[in-house]
Amino acid sequence: MLFQAQFPNEVTAFVTPQMIVSVKKNCTSSSSDIQFGSDLENAFYNVTAIKNLTAEVTLPSEVYKNLKNDTKSLFAAIWNTSLFQDSSRTKVIDGLVFGVVIQNAVVTNLSKPVVLKFNPRAPLVNAHLKCVFWSQGSNDIGVWNQTGCNTLVENNSVVCSCTHLTYFAVLMAPHQTVDSNNKQILTYITSVGCGISAFFMTVVILVHPMFVKKPSFRQSWFIHLNLAGALLLLNVGFLCSAAIPAILNISWLCTTTGLALHFSLICSFTWMALEAFQMFLLIWRPFTTYIKRYTLKVCLVGWGVPALIVLTIVAVNKNFYGPMQNDICWITNQSVQYSSVTGYYALVFIFTTVVFIAVVYKILQIKLASNSKVKRECNICMFIATFLGFTCLIGTTWGLGFFLIGSQNLPVQYLFTVLNSFQGFFLFIWICCQWNKGVTSSEDVKLESDTTHVYANKLPDGQVSDVP
């Protein structure tokens, strides 16, 4: 019908809520390649889910050989994949299908391919993409076929080169080396772990007045309380983003969810670093440390630094937050993700690891000073428990993620999933154990009577150690 209509302009565009069509006439008059495309974000003006979408098609001049004058070319971008459902329910990237049709012509076996360049709205991270065309079968059933099409991914763009004209799409499947059963198990573990962690972090926050009754517990408890709050936000944010598909279809809500998830994650990393800092103060400077307005300063660092990072990203481009191909609202820009998540945690990991080594060295130095064999054996057990507790407290287990960059090691995936999704539960157990022992988590390395004399001469008579 569009080919039979008469248009006053050389290029005419038609827009509907689920389709944009560009018709170009007088194509046979050109001896060179013809290029045309659409700014899909502006074209789909009433589809808020489309952001930063562009596509363009380059047709070789070979297409128009032996065709009549005034032959029209049609380029369609269709936002309705229900028209192209195959039996396997393959996922089409961004839900878009592109069609290239020449009036009264069937174009196949081109020596120079048709080139379709597509810039998706989300970063192409750990995704296996392939360009395909729609092959219509009988009974309105078709399949996606990649015969004659090559795929090239560069600079977050997908370039499809095909030797024929029809309806094209880009299919996406994440790089996976695990089978569907393991993937389902990992997803289940993550959901259950985040739910349990969120519950116990809520318990910690609700019962915190009981913990602060002990003056010796207040300082470290304040750090624990804020870490619990950050982990609670992280677990709830992840569960909401992953478990409520409707969020993905509401642009502003998905952006807000991704922002909140990013904020809570780097807040958690920051409070883990502050736990390490608190641990260093208590082990290496137990009697001489005084920091004025300490709680206010750690709050500014623990919540202020992540807020500054997130607000800076939003100020640069709020579209850096949105839906990802794995159906979660998150950071859509790969560079932002690597710098503000991977890079940020790398700094935290280096700091916490250095502090951890220094603390372990000090613990061993003190424990080995014990003259009693019984005490020494007991100290070994306490040291192992302390080691595991500190590892949970400062988030060392998140470092397993470095082993998953560029690969999908199944045992590491299980370790990473279990240890980090249940981190809130482990933190709850740690706090309860320290409460029962009557010491703070960072003061787990309690100096026995036969080692306290090492520091006794540092205090004037009657002075009490305090780290405000």
Can you spell out the DSSP letters for 289-333? Answer: ---TTHHHHHHIIIIIHHHHHHHHHHHH-GGGEEE-TTS-EEE--
Containing H/E element for 297? helix 294-299
Report if residue 429 sits inside a domain. yes
- Helix, strand, coil: what percent of the chain each, to 5? 50, 20, 30
Please, are residues 425 and 195 in contact by the beta-carbon 8 Å criterion?
Answer: no
Report if residue 211 sits inside a domain. yes
Residues 190 and 147 in one domain: no
Q: Count Cβ atoms below 10 Å from residue 1 Cβ, excluding itself.
A: 4
Note the pLDDT of residue 340: 94
Query: How many whole angstroms separate alpha carbon 131 and alpha carbon 388?
Result: 48
Note the pLDDT of residue 322: 81
Report if residue 354 sits inside a domain. yes
Count of domains observed in the chain: 2
Torsion 180-185-186-191 (CA) sign:
positive
Torsion 122-125-128-129 (CA) sign:
positive
Note the pLDDT of residue 462: 35
Note the pLDDT of residue 464: 34
Residues 169 and 187 in one domain: no
* Residue where a domain terminates, one of 144, 174, 204: 174
Containing H/E element for 377? helix 373-393
Report if residue 242 sits inside a domain. yes
Report if residue 1 sits inside a domain. no
Residues 170 and 240 in one domain: no
List C-alpha distances in Å: 402 to 34, 256, 306, 314, 330. Answer: 46, 27, 21, 26, 19
DSSP letter for 342, please: I
Please, are residues 271 and 223 in contact by the beta-carbon 8 Å criterion?
Answer: yes
Note the pLDDT of residue 277: 92
Residues 128 and 256 in one domain: no
Note the pLDDT of residue 36: 52
> Phi and psi dihedrals of 422, rounded to 5?
-95, 15
Note the pLDDT of residue 326: 58
Please, are residues 272 and 227 in contact by the beta-carbon 8 Å criterion?
Answer: yes
Q: Closest by alpha carbon to 198, among 428, 383, 464, 374?
A: 428
* Residue where a domain terminates, one of 131, 151, 174: 174
Residues 170 and 230 in one domain: no
- Name, in order, each residue with C-beta under 8 angstroms of 343's C-beta and a sequence gap of 6 or more: none
Query: How many whole angstroms separate alpha carbon 155 and alpha carbon 348?
Result: 29
Residues 169 and 201 in one domain: no
Containing H/E element for 133? strand 127-136
CATH number at residue 82: 2.60.220.50
Up-side HSE of residue 31: CA atoms within 13 Å toward CB? Answer: 0
149: containing domain:
11-174
Residues 306 and 430 in one domain: yes
**Residue 78: both structure tokens together:** 């269709």
Q: Closest by alpha carbon to 49, among 260, 245, 204, 196?
A: 245
Residues 221 and 103 in one domain: no
* Residue where a domain terminates, one of 174, 209, 238: 174
With 0-12 / 13-18 / 19 or more C-beta atoms within 10 angstroms meaning exposed / middle / buried, residue 137 is exposed
Report if residue 203 sits inside a domain. yes
Please, are residues 93 and 157 in contact by the beta-carbon 8 Å criterion?
Answer: no
Q: Closest by alpha carbon to 265, among 309, 299, 200, 201?
A: 309
Report if residue 2 sits inside a domain. no
Residues 164 and 53 in one domain: yes
**Residue 139: both structure tokens together:** 């009974």
Note the pLDDT of residue 40: 47
CATH number at residue 384: 1.20.1070.10
Q: Closest by alpha carbon to 240, among 264, 257, 221?
A: 257
Query: How many whole angstroms separate alpha carbon 35 and alpha carbon 80?
Result: 24
Residues 164 and 200 in one domain: no
Q: What is the 3-state secondary structure (H, E, C) of 157-216?
A: EEEEEECCCCEEEEEEEECCCCCHHHHHHHHHHHHHHHHHHHHHHHHHHHCHHHHCCCHH
Residues 139 and 155 in one domain: yes
Residues 123 and 170 in one domain: yes
Note the pLDDT of residue 57: 75
Report if residue 465 sits inside a domain. no
pLDDT along the chain (468 residues), means of 10: 56 70 62 52 41 67 71 74 64 77 78 82 67 73 80 81 82 61 88 95 85 59 91 93 71 87 96 92 70 88 96 91 76 86 95 91 74 55 72 90 78 92 91 66 39 37 36
